[in-house]
Amino acid sequence: MPDPNGFLRYDRRLPARRPVAVRISDWREVYPPAGEELIREQATRCMDCGIPFCHDGCPLGNRIPDWNDLVRTGTWDAAVESLHATNNFPEFTGRLCPAPCEAACVLGLGGQQPVTIKQVEVEIADAAVARGGLNPRPVPASTGRSVAVVGSGPAGLAAAQQLARAGHAVTVYERDDAIGGLLRYGIPDFKLEKQHIDRRLAQLAAEGVQFRTGVDVGVDVTAEELRSRHDAVLLACGALQGRDTPETPGRQLRGVHQAMTHLVAANRVVAAAGDGRPAQAVLPDGTPIDAAGKHVVIIGGGDTAADCLGVAHRQGAAGVHQLDLYPEPPHGRDAERDPWPTWPWVLRNYPAHEEGGERVFAVAVQEFVDDGTGQVKGVRIAEVTVERRDGRRIVTALPGSERELPADLVLLAIGFEGTEEQPLLAQFGVVRNARGAVDARPDWQTDADGVFVAGDMHRGASLIVWAIAEGRAAAAAIHSYLGGVGSLPAPVDPARQPLAAR
Ligand SMILES: Cc1cc2nc3c(=O)[nH]c(=O)nc-3n(C[C@H](O)[C@H](O)[C@H](O)COP(=O)(O)OP(=O)(O)OC[C@H]3O[C@@H](n4cnc5c(N)ncnc54)[C@H](O)[C@@H]3O)c2cc1C
Ligand code: SF4
C-alpha cells in the first residue's frame, strides 16, 4: 500500500546538477545519480491514484505508480522488471524525455509539484545495470521469418528487440558508421553518454539482432534486394530534413550552417576522443567547424538549439545568442490555454541555459551580414510580432527595431521538414505527405504491402518516447503480419496523438 501522505511530507527534489564551471570543461552528463535515499523519498510522493493520468501522458503507458511504489520499498529487481515490461530503453527516456507524464501527474491538479517520474525512471534503469547488467532475454525457437529494419534510432531498435524476442531473424541496416540514430551523433554526450547505447546494443546482439552499418538502403542495397532477403521491412529512417531559410539575404555565407552539421561534427570528436583517436570538428567536406573563440548565434528555441548552446560553451565560444521568433513563454501553466493534464506551453530552461549565453525572444533575422570576404560577421535582427491568419503564420517586423549581433558562426535550429527525400522512398513505392512524413495504415503498413513505417519518419520530428512506442507497436503489427503466435504489446496506434484538451 503506497504512502498516501508522502507528497505532504516531502517536497519535489532533484539531484543537484554538476557545477557549471566543472561540467563545461568536459562532455560528461550534467546530472549525477540521485542516490538511493533521495530517490526512495521522491518515489514516496506518488499517491498511486485510482486513475493515474501519468499513464495517459506517457505514450509507452509506463506503469508509473507500480514502479514508484517498488522503489519506495527498495524492491529494485521487481522495479526493473516492471519498467522493462513497457519500455525497451528506459536509460534513454529517463535521461532525455521531457516527461509529459509529469505534466499529467495528479499532484499538479492541487497546485503541488509533480512526482519526479523521469528521475525515478533513470535510477531504475541504472539499477538494472548495477545489479547484474542488461542480461539478454532467452530467445524462443526461430520462427523462420526475417525482418529488415532500416534505420537504427530508438524506433528501429525498439522494433528490432521486440521482433528478435518473438523469434524472428532481424537485421538492422544503418547508413551511418555507428548504430543509434540521433542518440549517437545528434544528441551530445552531456545529455546521454554513449556507453548507455553500447550496453543496450550488446544486449540486442546477444538476443540475435544483426547490425549492418555503412549501408545506405536505396544506394548500397536496393529495396528490391532487401525485399527478396526478408519477409517484411520496417522503415525507421527518422525526420532529418533540416528546415532552412534560403530567402534570408546572406544565407550562402561561410559560417552559416544547419545545427545538425555542427552537432554531428562535435559529437564525432567526442566519440573519437573516447576511442583515443585525435580528431577535429569538420564538415563532411573537411572544412573545420568549431565554436572556439567565436561569436555564435543560434536560431531556434527547441531541443536542438539548446544542444548547440551546450556544445558551443564546451568548445569555448566567445559569446552565444539564442534567438527565438516567439515571445518569452509564461513561467507557469496557463490553465485557460493548456488545462491540466495536457502538455503546457511554458518557458523551458535546459541545463545548457545555466551555462551562459543570452536568449533573445520575439526577433527574426533580416540578414546574415558579409565581412566582405564571403564569411558571416553578423546577424541583423528585428523585433517581431507573430500571428496566425487562415492557418498561416504572419511575422511582422517592428519598424526601427533592427540591430546587429556579432556572429562568426550561425547555427540554424529551426526545425525539421520531415523525412529526407532519398532513393529508398521511390524504390519502396512510398511517398512523403504534406508534412514530409510517410503515412501508415492502421496496421502500420505503408502503401507498399509488407513495408512498415515507425518513429519520426511516420510522426515527423518528435520524441524518443514516441519513437520507442511506435517501434514497439509496429513490431506487434509485423509479428501479426508474419503469422506469429500470440500478440506483442502495441502501446499506440498510428493515429494516436498527445493528450489534448478537446
Ligand atoms: C539535436 C536533437 C536533440 C534531441 N533531443 C531530444 C531529447 O532530449 N529528448 C527527446 O525525447 N527527443 C530528442 N530529440 C528527438 C529524438 O532524437 C527523435 O525523436 C528520435 O531519435 C527519433 O527516432 P527514430 O528512430 O524515429 O529516428 P532517428 O533517431 O532519426 O534515426 C533514424 C536513422 O535512420 C538512418 N537512415 C536514414 N535513411 C537511411 C537509409 N536510407 N539507409 C540506412 N539508414 C538510414 C539515419 O542515419 C538514422 O540513424 C532530439 C532531436 C535532435 C535532432
Ligand atoms: S518515458 Fe517519458 S513520459 Fe514515459 S514515464 Fe518516462 S519520462 Fe514519463
Whole-number pLDDT of residue 151: 98
- How many angstroms is it from 441 CA to the middle of ligand 1? 22
Probe ligand 2: pick from 92, 119, 303, 465, max atoms within 8 Å of CB?
A: 465
Q: Is the pLDDT of residue 129 over 90?
A: yes
Whole-number pLDDT of residue 277: 87
The pLDDT confidence band at residue 394, using thresholds 50, 70 and 90, is very high
Q: Is the pLDDT of residue 502 over 70?
A: no
- How many angstroms is it from 105 CA to the middle of ligand 2? 11
- The burial class, CB within 10 Å (0-12 / 13-18 / 19+), for 349 is exposed
Question: Which ranges of 139-194 would DSSP assign to H, the alpha helix?
Answer: 154-165, 182-185
Q: Say how far apart CA 119 and CA 181 lie, in whole Å.
A: 24
Q: Is the pLDDT of residue 372 over 70?
A: yes
Q: What is the mean pLDDT of the chain?
A: 96
pLDDT tens per residue, range 238-280: 999 999 999 999 999 999 999 999 999 999 999 998 888 878 8
pLDDT tens per residue, range 137-185: 988 999 999 999 999 999 999 999 999 999 999 999 999 999 999 999 9
- Dmax over Cα atoms in the chain, in whole Å? 72
pTM confidence score: 0.97
Where does ligand 1 bind, in terms of residues with CB under 6 Å? 96-97, 150-156, 173-176, 181-182, 186-187, 191, 216-218, 236-238, 240, 263, 303-304, 307, 422, 424, 455-457, 462-465, 467
In 3-state terms, what secondary structure has residue 136? coil
Q: Is the pLDDT of residue 398 over 90?
A: yes
**8 A C-beta contact, residue 123 and residue 39:** yes
Question: Which ligand 2 atom minimizes the distance to the CA of 102?
Answer: 8
Question: Which ligand 2 atom minimizes the distance to the CA of 97?
Answer: 2
Please state the rounded mean pLDDT for residues 30-39. 94
Whole-number pLDDT of residue 139: 87
Whole-number pLDDT of residue 5: 87
pLDDT tens per residue, range 416-458: 999 999 999 999 999 999 999 999 999 999 999 999 999 999 9
Q: Which ligand is nearest to the CA of 60?
A: 2
Q: What is the DSSP string of 205-249?
A: HHTT-EEEES--BTTTB-HHHHHHH-SEEEE------B---TTST
In 3-state terms, what secondary structure has residue 126? helix
The pLDDT confidence band at residue 30, using thresholds 50, 70 and 90, is very high
Q: Say how far apart CA 259 and CA 256 lie, in whole Å.
A: 9
- How many angstroms is it from 290 CA to the middle of ligand 1? 23
pLDDT tens per residue, range 74-97: 999 999 999 999 999 999 999 999
Question: Which ligand 2 atom minimizes the distance to the CA of 87?
Answer: 1
AA letter at 320: V
In 3-state terms, what secondary structure has residue 201? helix
Q: Say how far apart CA 494 and CA 474 lie, in whole Å.
A: 9
With a CB cutoff of 8 Å and minimum separation 6, the contacts of 50 are none
Q: Say how far apart CA 1 and CA 216 lie, in whole Å.
A: 52
Probe ligand 1: pick from 58, 87, 303, max atoms within 8 Å of CB?
A: 303
* Residue 271 neighbours by CB distance under 10 Å: 18
* For the chain, percent of residues with pLDDT exceeding 90: 93
Sheet holding 451-453, edge to edge: 210-213, 169-174, 146-150, 232-235, 451-453
Q: Say how far apart CA 370 and CA 253 lie, in whole Å.
A: 7
Determine if the peptide bond prior to 52 is cis (ω within 30°). Answer: no
pLDDT tens per residue, range 41-75: 999 999 999 899 999 999 999 999 999 999 999 99
Looking at 212-216, 377-381, 389-393, 406-410, which range is the least confident one? 389-393
CA angle in degrees (0–180, nearest 5) for 162-164-169: 140
- The burial class, CB within 10 Å (0-12 / 13-18 / 19+), for 199 is middle
Q: Is the pLDDT of residue 4 over 90?
A: no
**41 closest CA partner among 112, 130, 123:** 123
Whole-number pLDDT of residue 248: 98
Residue 291, sorted as left (phi over 0), alpha (psi -120 to 50) or beta, turns out to be alpha
Whole-number pLDDT of residue 132: 86
- Separate counts of helices (H) and strands (E) for the chain: 19, 14
pLDDT tens per residue, range 316-325: 999 999 999 9
